[in-house]
Amino acid sequence: MIDKSTFIDEAEVVAWLREVSPYFQNHRGKTFVVYLTTEVIHDEIPSSIISDLVILAHVGVRLIVVFDASEQIATRLAEKGIRQREVVGFTVSDQATIATVTEVVGTMRLEIESAFSLKSSGGPFAGAANKIASGNFVIAKPAGIINGVDLAFTGRVRSIDEAAIAARLDAGEIVLLAPVGYSPTGDIFNLRSQELAIAVAVKSSSSKLILLGTEEGIHAGNGDLIRQLTLHEAQELRANRGTQPAESELLDIGIEACGAGIDRVHIVGRDVDGAILRELFTRDGVGSMISSAPFDRLRGATLDDVGGILELVRPLEAKGVLVFRSRQTIETEIARFIVIIREDTVVACGSFHPYPPQMAGEIACIAVHPDYRGGQFGDMLLRELQKRAKKAGIETVFVLTTQASQWFGERGFEVSSLDALPVERLQLYNYQRNSMVLVKNI
């Protein structure tokens, strides 16, 4: 007898595809820089991480991967009996050190390229493999003399060959950058990988810098994971409380990157399966995000939002999409509304009306500003309203609509009859509008 529980629920697959499809559209064609910390790679980069990065490339993300090799270099130097010297955060790279750096980094680069090639050409991606591009994309300069110490072959990023990288990305290739740079005279310099990741993210106009480390993200003083931080909040956190060493390094990179103009920095952990995909393709993500600008806020509405809600719903009421609601009605029911705020402006709203005796509730008045329609705001509102309904013990939600039945149908609602409405709501039904009834079990 076949155990059907072992099969993937097709309805769940469809629901998942509908949920993530807006992210595919939003991310396609964008450039992301992924920074792999030295701890993530260890002896070799985990196969699961390679798989997730290959998936990103195959859904149209222009992908640049920068890896750190400091731990591996330190281990190899110790094996050779070469002592490292540190000067104000820089490692002195003499002739023996830079020889070891090129040895270790070269080996790691080849191993990573091999891992990408294997994942790209096998399994579901067979016959459509992404090529891996690496080379002398980074021009370096000497770090110079600090506190009287010549750093020798330790360098700083001088410039990035943006055109060469863009050409590789345009060809559908994944660009892999090692923490070394080259001078016009042919010298090789040991670079700080963090500086390289930020520089290439800025020069490539990357919309995201993803930091993959040992920590799942940034934590508050009570141990809770902080999902979102503005640049200012991140700076305050770093200055006032500090963090664990591993978090401190990633937080510092995020702060510097946002300060340099990167819109979003995502910090995720290697031990969370599919961390990068979950962070980028789910609403809440699994790590911490630092934003250089205020991000959208979804919250409960207040009386101060009434004017903004009216501006959203009045044009839709005039078209017959929404039923008319007076200012007084909205003010009276404001606790039932949620809003999405962007730059102190109400750009979307929705409401939930519970009918506890029937364990049912109505989702109503979903409206999105015309400039933001076709994006994620409608889905964000619907998910939050369903979440609140479920928390209130509601088992079934319903909507009454004259023009949005298809939109709700694509999100799991099914057409029903007036009999599905609670008696209290049925008594208020407007037969002249003849709205369709759609229901969904949550």
pLDDT tens digits for 342-374? Answer: 767 898 999 999 999 889 999 999 999 887 777
Assigned token pair, 222: 């009570």
Of 86-100, 143-157, 190-204, 272-286, which gets the smallest average pLDDT? 272-286
As a whole number, the mean pLDDT across the chain is 89
**Measured distance CA(86)–CA(402) in Å, rounded:** 69
pLDDT tens digits for 126-179? Answer: 544 568 999 899 999 999 999 999 999 999 999 999 999 999 999 999 999 999
Helix (H, G, I), strand (E, B) or coil at 436: strand
For the cut 50, the answer to whether the pLDDT of residue 1 exceeds it is no
Q: What is the pLDDT of residue 128?
A: 45
pLDDT tens digits for 408-434? Answer: 999 999 999 999 999 999 999 999 999
pLDDT tens digits for 237-253? Answer: 888 866 667 788 899 99
267 neighbors 229 (Cβ within 8 angstroms): no
Element (H, E) at 175: strand 174-177
Whole-angstrom CA distances from 17 to 112, 154, 409 are: 30, 47, 14
Paired residues of 415 in beta bridges: 438
441 neighbors 398 (Cβ within 8 angstroms): no
For the cut 80, the answer to whether the pLDDT of residue 231 exceeds it is yes
- Strands (DSSP E) contained in 243-377 are 264-269, 288-291, 297-300, 337-342, 345-355, 360-368
Query: All domains of the chain, ordered by start, with CATH?
Result: 4-291 (3.40.1160.10), 297-441 (3.40.630.30)
Please give the DSSP secondary-structure letter assigned to residue 154: B
Residue with tokens 């969370």: 272
**Measured distance CA(322)–CA(440) in Å, rounded:** 20
pLDDT tens digits for 262-295? Answer: 989 999 999 899 999 999 987 668 999 998 766 6
328 neighbors 273 (Cβ within 8 angstroms): no
> Is beta strand 225-226 parallel, antiparallel or unpaired with respect to 218-219?
antiparallel
pLDDT tens digits for 33-65? Answer: 999 999 988 767 888 899 999 999 998 999 999
Under 8 Å CB-to-CB from 167, ≥6 apart: which residues?
none
Q: What is the pLDDT of residue 26?
A: 81
268 neighbors 279 (Cβ within 8 angstroms): yes
**Amino acid letter for position 176:** L
Q: How far apart are the first and last CA of the chain?
A: 31
Which of 223, 284, 233 is closest to 258 using CA atoms? 233
**Measured distance CA(439)–CA(442) in Å, rounded:** 10
